[in-house]
Amino acid sequence: METDAIVLDSNDHGESDVIVTLFAQHEGRVKAIAKGARKSLRRFVNKLEPFSFLHVVCRRKSPDALAFLAEAELHSAFFNIRNDLELYTVASVIQEFLLIAIKDEQPDERIFRLSLWSLHHLDRQHTPRAVLALFLIRFFEYLGYRPDLEHCGGCRRAVTATAQCHFHPEWGALVCSHCRSAATVTTPLSPGTVKVLRVAQHLPLERLDRLRLSGPMLQEALTMLHNYGRNLFQRDIVSWRQLRRAPRHSAKPAAADDHAYQPDPAPTRALTIKENLI
């Protein structure tokens, strides 16, 4: 097997080996042992760390056997992610979602490209939490669980984002005002947040970085995506706890060619989500 792959996890094994979990472009999740990796610095140094983007050659004696990592060539180590606490924390949340969802022998070209897109933009130190929100909205879609931000999940009526909206994590959809009483746990979303997330669902990947998501809208979006992810996988997202504690980069000013998305109306102060709720 010869493929491009992202290192999702890496653990020492015995005195000299390393076992890596790879997200391989054409194979899905692959576990492989790098024999002597901790001694053979020339072959594997700095390559088998989580988030590294590699070109690998693996061999397997039988379909059920652990793969043997024969060669690894580094495309990118994403050094900035490894050296910055916020970037590393955001990447760890992405890593956890990938480890939950990516299965053996189930390659997914779209999720692979989305993961690379996210690592690349984190490494370039774009607003990291915005990269996470954009990753998640597309990730759920590619898994077949696209959040429905157009219709009410109760009555299927179209929801116009003109007033305060609510998202139902179990329905995976918005809740209209008529169905609100039947919906117990919902996440508030301002009309501006709904609009920007709708745009995020439609933009081609290569233009997704032009979408600016920050401030209260970003926090609302992250709260909704976190609640939806927990409900979807029926488990806690452990690395999200670190995300709450990680320091924040100040948002960089937009480049001249950025198409700043200006939602209308802007979210009000009352919609600001408390830090500990993301």
Provide the strand spans (E) within the chain.
Answer: 2-13, 17-24, 28-34, 53-59, 67-76, 148-152, 165-168, 173-175, 187-189
Q: Closest approach of Cβ 153 to Zn ion, in Å?
A: 7
Contact 243, 90 (CB under 8 A): yes
State the nearest-atom distance from the C-beta of 267 to Zn ion, in Å: 22
In the complex with Zn ion, which residue's Cβ is closer, 33 or 152? 152
Return the number of the residue (152 or 197) whose C-beta is nearest Zn ion: 152
Which token pair is 31? 């576990």
Q: What long-range pairs does 89-92 form, CB within 8 A, spacing at least 24?
A: 89/239, 89/242, 89/243, 89/246, 90/122, 90/128, 90/129, 90/131, 90/132, 90/243, 90/246, 91/50, 91/51, 91/118, 91/119, 91/122, 92/239, 92/242
Q: How far is CA 249 from CA 56, 86, 123, in A?
A: 34, 8, 13
Q: How far is the CB of 152 from Zn ion (least distance, A)?
A: 3
What's the closest the beta carbon of residue 165 comes to Zn ion, in angstroms? 12
Residue (155 or 163) nearer to Zn ion, CB: 155
Q: Which is nearer to Zn ion, 147 or 154 (CB)?
A: 154
Of 19 and 149, which CB lies nearer to Zn ion in the complex structure? 149
Min dist. Cβ of residue 186 to Zn ion (A): 12
Nearer to Zn ion, 22 or 161 (CB): 161
Q: How far is the CB of 68 from Zn ion (least distance, A)?
A: 55
Question: Taking the CB of residue 64, how many other CB atoms lie within 10 A of it?
Answer: 6
Pair type for strands 173-175 and 28-34: unpaired
Beta 17-24 vs 187-189: how paired, if at all?
A: unpaired
The nearest distance, CB 191 to Zn ion, in angstroms, is 17
Longest dimension (CA), the chain: 65
Q: Least separation, in Å, of the C-beta of 135 and Zn ion? A: 29
Tell the residue number behind the tokens 């919902």, with chain if given: 186
Whichever of 80 and 177 has its CB closer to Zn ion, that residue is: 177
Nearer to Zn ion, 128 or 154 (CB): 154
Q: What type of residue is 249?
A: H
Q: Find residue 34's DSSP bridge partners.
A: 18
Residues interacting with Zn ion, by CB under 5 A? 152, 154-155, 176, 178-179
Q: Quote the tokens at residue 269.
A: 């102060």
Q: Which helix (H) or strand (E) holds 79?
A: helix 79-82
